[in-house]
Amino acid sequence: MTTSLLYHAFCVRSYTLLRTEYRDGSVYAHLQKKRYARRCAACQYPGVTLEGCAEVKVRTLPIGKRSVFLVLHLHRLRCRRCGKLKQEPRDIAAPRKSYSLALARLVLDLCQQMTLSAVAQYLQLNWHLCKDILLSDLRRKKERLRLRHVRRIAIDEIFVRSPQHFLTVVVDLDSGHVLYVGVGKDRSALAPFFAMLRAARAKLQAIAVDMSAAFLSAILKDGPAGVLIVHDRFHITKMMNEVLDEVRRSEQNRLESQGKQVLKGGRYLLLRNRYSVEENPADSSRLDTLLAANDTLHRVYLLKEELRLLWEQPTQLHAHWLLQQWLRTARELGLRPLNRFCDTLEQAQDRILSWYLCPISTGPLEGVNNKIKVLNRRAYGHRDTEFLALRILFIHESLFKLTGT
């Protein structure tokens, strides 16, 4: 190995090669700072006196399948001007790290295309070393994260099984990037994010969120004053589907007690959109049979289909009129699950109709949540919550973000 090879292949500058050793299948290159590169670490004065030397081993880029270590002979330097005694800096490695900056860059580049485990195996590195490199990089990126430009966001929670807890995820609806990951799904999980927004002086305009009471409380108490809250249309549709399914089960149990099986096996037909059902004549005929067999179920099904029209009106005023009509019709049925749902809609109708002022939803965030689930499942869980949160925060940067750790 030569000094020229160190410069061109390993990005090592201002060092002289003292000797090279080969043992245990690895290469050890002993290096020493060149005289012109020695300066006082405090005042950068070039006039220094050498006082003692220490050897520091740093792992760097491999040569084929051989591991390469740089053994740095670092002197203690006494400055002739300021008189301070300091050790020569390790400019080819981060402070208190056992790997070179070049090796760290290679690991980070490979992590864009491969899993962390695959990178460790390919480079013959310890998995925890690769994790330390990636974790350090993610922490630096988080410190550089800027929120001043954020205008519209979506908030939702996701459950991860290892460790078993909820995570609150915030996504920028304009860029699609994850802005924040908090542990839990209550007010305390969102409070730090809103504090970050205030510190960044962000002019947040709208928030898409489901009808979670905890999230609503956090937004009203800690969020920016006057921010527009838009309840997610897909969560409302899901809640209506749950009401329909509860009514179906109740009616099915009642009919089965009379020896009738007409509603059995019709759950997924009832929950599907009517237009998608009509694409298949057999499904359409089966659905008509189900609805004709039970008037109560038929009327609730029609309410479910009519509720979809709430977000297809020409103006907010038309949508408000439609919602009032829908609520009156729904309450006339006198069904307990439907009445509870009507109470929820009445309390949140202003935030539901805010969609006409800013048509946003948590749809993009649901896509991110699916990627998070795959990431956590392929990794067999993450015991390090901080590492998981940081990986989620920058999941959009990784080309291999869906497969493994």
Structure tokens, 321:
């009129």
Same domain? 208 vs 164: yes
Listed in sequence order, the residues at least 6 apart from 362 whose beta carbon sits closer than 8 Å to its beta carbon are 154, 155, 156, 208, 209, 210, 232, 234, 235
Same domain? 227 vs 239: no
Same domain? 301 vs 251: yes
Q: Is residue 403 part of a domain?
A: no
pLDDT at 41 over 50: yes
The HSE-up count of residue 366 (CA atoms within 13 Å, CB side) is 11
| Residue of 209, 200, 201, 211 lying closest to 228 (CA atoms) | 209
Q: Is residue 228 part of a domain?
A: yes
Same domain? 228 vs 137: no
Q: Is residue 405 part of a domain?
A: no
pLDDT value of residue 318: 96
Report the domain count for the chain. Answer: 4
On whether the CB atoms of residues 78 and 51 are closer than 8 A, the answer is: yes
pLDDT value of residue 259: 60
Residues 316-341 pLDDT 10s: 999 999 999 999 999 999 999 999 99
On whether the CB atoms of residues 182 and 194 are closer than 8 A, the answer is: no
Largest CA-CA distance found in the chain, in angstroms, rounded: 102
Average pLDDT value for the chain: 86
On whether the CB atoms of residues 100 and 60 are closer than 8 A, the answer is: yes
Same domain? 63 vs 4: yes
Residue 298 buriedness (CB in 10 A; 0-12 / 13-18 / 19+): middle
Same domain? 223 vs 331: no
Same domain? 308 vs 239: yes
| AA identity, residue 351 | R
Residues 173-191 pLDDT 10s: 998 899 999 988 888 899 9
Instruction: Kindly indicate the confidence band of residue 404, based on its pLDDT and cuts at 50, 70 and 90.
Output: very low
Q: Is residue 402 part of a domain?
A: no
Conformation bin of residue 358: beta by default, left when phi > 0, alpha when psi is -120 to 50:
beta
Domain with 130, as residue range(s), is 98-144
Same domain? 189 vs 210: yes
Residues 104-127 pLDDT 10s: 999 999 988 888 888 999 999 999
Same domain? 221 vs 160: yes
Same domain? 273 vs 316: yes
Instruction: Kindly indicate the confidence band of residue 163, based on its pLDDT and cuts at 50, 70 and 90.
Output: low
Q: Which of 70, 92, 114 is the last residue of a domain?
A: 92
Q: Is residue 404 part of a domain?
A: no
pLDDT at 3 over 70: no
Q: Please report where in the chains the tokens 């860059």 appear, as a residue.
A: 105
Same domain? 194 vs 239: no
Residues 240-299 pLDDT 10s: 999 999 988 888 787 666 666 666 667 788 888 888 888 888 888 888 888 888 888 899
Q: Which of 144, 173, 204 is the last residue of a domain?
A: 144
205: CATH: 3.30.420.10
Q: Is residue 65 part of a domain?
A: yes
pLDDT value of residue 374: 73
Same domain? 329 vs 303: yes
Q: Is residue 106 part of a domain?
A: yes
